[in-house]
Amino acid sequence: MKLLLASALTALFTAQACAADGEVAYPDGYRDWRHVKSMVIGEGHPLFDAFGGIHHLYANDAALEGYAAGQFPDGAAIVFDLLEAPGGDGAITEGARKVLGVMRKDSRLFPGTGGWGFEGFGGGDPGNRVVGDNAASACFACHTSQSDHDYVFSRPRD
């Protein structure tokens, strides 16, 4: 019975994770997932123009298993929440959301990008897809440098 329930839940999650046409879906409820880490990319960093700001990373349960094992199972999802980082009076605060990036593992749907589907939602708006068919060049091209960690840059904070 437990195996049947687990299989049904896995199928349900996979259906919710990807749209019918293989697009990566917006991750409703991701802030209830495990917070992996945060960081700030400031002026002077080589990636500032594209990724400057505050980064929060979230992982679902399957992705947590992947962080521990070094290989991520299908169903794993990682969210990259990028916010503006205005500063003043010695403090950096969270500003407006710039983009919500999502990686979802499904080896069957995304064989050309290491089994990962990528999408970015401009301003965090589920209707504003900014990656679309450009996942291989816009995302995966950089992630290939992390092939020894299943194409994932982040590591959980201890």
Using an 8 Å Cβ cutoff, are 121 and 128 in contact? yes
| Residue 61 reports pLDDT greater than 80 | yes
pLDDT value at position 21?
57
- Please state the domain extents for the chain: 22-149
pLDDT band for position 19 (50/70/90)?
very low
Q: Which residues contact 50 (CB under 8 A, 6 or more apart)?
A: none
Say what percent of the chain tops pLDDT 90.
84
Yes or no: is domain 22-149 CATH 3.30.70.660?
Answer: no
Q: For the chain, give me the number of helices (H) and strands (E)?
A: 5, 7
**pLDDT tens by residue, 111-127:** 999 999 999 999 999 99
What is residue 89's three-state secondary structure? coil
Separation CA 54–CA 96 (nearest Å)? 10
What token pair was written down for 91? 């403090």
CA distance 157 to 133: 32
